[in-house]
Amino acid sequence: MTKKDACISDLKARVLALELAPGAALDEVSLSESYGLSRTPLREVLQRLAGEGYISLEANRGAVVSAMDIAAMRQFFQTAPIIYCAISRLAAENASLAQLAKLKAEQFGFTQAKAVLDAPAMALANHHFHETIGAMSGNPYLLPAMGRLLIDHTRISQRFYNASAPHDGVRITQAAHQHDLLIDAIERRSPEKAVEITLDHWALSRDEIERYVWPDPLPDDTTRRTTGEST
């Protein structure tokens, strides 16, 4: 692994684990010294991370970790179930045997982290699990959108997987079981079942994610309310 690759991998992990806080400015001099990179390769690293949605490059502030403000989170809630369901459907149609083996390996890593209630490890293992499902879809239009969603989902999941009460452990166990069901649906080439499980999986985490983002529930804009709406 080159220094650039190591830098990219480490900075991604630090963003996902919230070690680098959303909206935090990144000092290029410090990064250059920490990773042993000169100015040009470091800027190539930052361009790569910006392209994938981990950071943004702002004219007056330089490199900044991607924000998670209320406006961004509302877009997250509107978009996530749509993208996840489309990805799951295509994964069930297109997954290769090698990809299925990789998905099962990612799930094994998730269950290992779950056994010791390691929240950061569970969040990262969940990230890799769904990233693999994204690769199964083979869709070049959906993959960038899913990649960007997973960045925020993984950051928020640090709370979801932090089991501080008995019901938290039950929720995490249910999430792990839904992973197994999703693997089975993909392996059986059942797109409809894969979508159904994906929606259940999203619903399981949605309320907890909302509490992280905002004390009051955010509107579910994926379904249109008919009561009291004007047309």
The confidence score (pLDDT) of residue 165 equals 63
The confidence score (pLDDT) of residue 105 equals 98
The confidence score (pLDDT) of residue 224 equals 37
**What pTM does this model have?**
0.85
Kindly report the CATH class assigned to 3-65: mainly alpha
The architecture in CATH of the region 70-213 reads: Up-down Bundle (1.20)
With a cut of 50, list the residues of the chain below it in pLDDT: 215-231
The confidence score (pLDDT) of residue 227 equals 41
Residue ranges per structural domain of the chain: 3-65, 70-213
The confidence score (pLDDT) of residue 214 equals 52
The confidence score (pLDDT) of residue 3 equals 94
HEC letters along the chain: CCHHHHHHHHHHHHHHCCCCCCCCECCHHHHHHHHCCCHHHHHHHHHHHHHHCCEEEECCCEEEECCCCHHHHHHHHHHHHHHHHHHHHHHHHHCCHHHHHHHHHHHHHHHHHHHCCCHHHHHHHHHHHHHHHHHHHCCCCHHHHHHHHHHHHHHHHHHHCCCCCHHHHHHHHHHHHHHHHHHHHHHCCCHHHHHHHHHHHHHHHHHHHHHHHCCCCCCCCCCCCCCCCCC
pLDDT in tens, 23-69: 999 999 999 999 999 999 999 999 999 999 999 998 888 999 998 88
The confidence score (pLDDT) of residue 166 equals 65
